[in-house]
Amino acid sequence: MNIRNIENPAGPLAEETVTTRRGSSPPRGAASVHFSSRSNEWGTPQWLFDKLDGEFGFTLDPCSTHENAKCSRHYTLAEDGLSRDWSRDIVFMNPPYGREIGLWMEKAFRSASEGATVVCLVPARTDTAWWHTFAIYGEIRFLKGRLKFGDATSIAPFPSAIIVFRPPGKQ
């Protein structure tokens, strides 16, 4: 297993670290979308995508909207990237962070065994079943500090990681 850190150009954690429990109210002034189930789509910070794209040269973004797609070839929720073949692609995946994240991580893991390289931006939830079933078998890159996703006005309330799944023989 290969583990390393990626520096966040925004620096370490912003002015404060916010801790909440599921079902609790967001702290005053926090970006409420980060603490609710109103959205499970998190727009990838451009600086991070650019750094990874420079290393990997992505050909597919399978879980995006038309507005936040990072690759010209991409699938939206309606186009169902989970049901598509990724085996010939170099995939950048920022999956929905809701309950279905395990399905996306399984798809990434299995697609790599079929020939794809899949780079996943995920919350660093090391206590979850999907992390122990799939993520630990990839190259793990922890991000230093917390990310500011999309047009959010504050940082995410969780740490993030990059998981890289490579085809057999390209480990």
pLDDT digits (tens, 9 = 90+) for 48-65: 999 999 999 999 999 998
Instruction: Evaluate if residue 67 carries a pLDDT over 80.
Output: yes
How far apart CA 126 and CA 129 sit, in angstroms, is: 8
Which structural domains are found in the chain, ordered by start? Answer: 57-171 (3.40.50.150)
H helices present in 5-65, as ranges: 46-56
How far apart CA 102 and CA 162 sit, in angstroms, is: 15
15 bridge partner residues: none
Q: Which of the four pLDDT bands, split at 50, 70 and 90, describes residue 156?
A: confident
Element (H, E) at 93: strand 90-93
Q: What is the mean pLDDT of residues 59-78?
A: 93
165 bridge partner residues: 118
Closest alpha carbon to 147 in 54, 62, 26, 43 = 43
Please give the span between the terminal C-alpha atoms of the chain, in angstroms, as a whole number: 10
